[in-house]
Amino acid sequence: MPLNVSREEVFTSYKHEVKKLRRLGREWRVKDSDIDEIIHHSFQLFEDQHKTKSVEYSSDRISTKSIRFFYSFQHIVRITVVMFLILTAACLFITYHKPTYNVVVRNVQELIYPIMKCLRRVTLPVVKAMPSVTVWYDEMCLLENPHFQATDMNCWACEEVRSVLDLSKMHNPRDFQPHTGFPYIVKGAGAAVTYGTLQKMYESNRHLINRDAYRISSTVHEWKSVADLMEYSLERNPTTNQDAHIEWRVNRLEPARLLRKLFPRPSFIPNTVNMERFILVDEPKAPQYKLVCFEIGEAVLITHFVLIFYKKM
């Protein structure tokens, strides 16, 4: 039957063929019920044939897709392996061929800043989508190497020290140090800061601190953030053994400005020195611990009820 016929014409032709079939059945003395069964059976056979063809077509289509996917994946793997081998060979050649190494280093150094700037712009959508990743910006190491051991600091600076100098009355105590590693104390260099002062600062800037400087490390495992510490109110509710030790690192710009109001830079520390700030909170029976590891030997420790530790960057 042509495909461009209308639905009415199809029904008219169907009725006409059914009438012819029934007329032929009467001539052959076939009952109407048998004729109806024959018509129904013919439609059932047609439907079964159509389903079989559909299943065969679907299975052929699926198998074709699987084959295409396999060959595409195999092609991608080959390209990846070839690129890896080429890059490895290029790196080895650049590393061990001195003239090539000098040329690459001389030309690449000028591209480091533009590449990093471009990379920063590319990652801005990621930072906007997941602003919490910015908390890792100030980390010196994201994944520590358990097999790496740093060289212990030389003890020559303090091994001959018999007493700590009190240079409180000196205008610039640094000028009276025997050497840069010699320890000394300066009394009254900063205003008194208590735990309550620290708590008020947190309450006034809760949103900022919870966003940019919320992480702490503590001997109390339940305290994971500054909010946990402040909600506990350690000043009024000491721990059972009164041996808690809390370390709070503050390096982000805006929280550091808040701390600068409580712990101003000592007058004898030049402005050219960048500071890394650690607030150490100890209960009376807190156990001994090592101060925060710092790379450069010069440090300033300001002691109140809380401790703040500066590191020269």
Q: At how many degrees (to 10) do helices 7-27 and 32-96 cross?
A: 130
- pLDDT score for 307: 39
Q: Which residues pair with 309 in a beta bridge?
A: 278, 301
Q: How far, CA to CA in Å, does 209 sit from each of 82, 129, 190, 206, 212?
A: 49, 20, 23, 5, 5
pLDDT digit of tens for each residue in the chain (313 aa)? Answer: 455 667 677 667 777 777 777 777 777 777 777 777 777 776 676 666 666 655 555 555 656 667 777 778 888 989 999 999 999 998 888 888 888 888 888 888 778 888 888 888 888 888 788 877 776 766 667 777 777 776 666 676 677 777 777 887 777 777 776 666 677 787 776 667 778 888 888 999 999 888 888 888 888 888 889 999 888 888 788 888 888 898 888 878 788 888 888 888 777 777 766 677 888 888 888 888 887 766 555 566 666 544 333 334 3
β-strand partners of 279: 248, 308
Neighbours of 311 (CB within 10 A): 21
**Alpha-carbon distance 23 to 77, whole Å?**
69
Q: What is the reported pLDDT for 81? A: 92
| Alpha-carbon span 37 to 83, nearest angstrom | 69
Nearest to 215 by CA among 251, 191, 263: 251
pTM of the model: 0.52
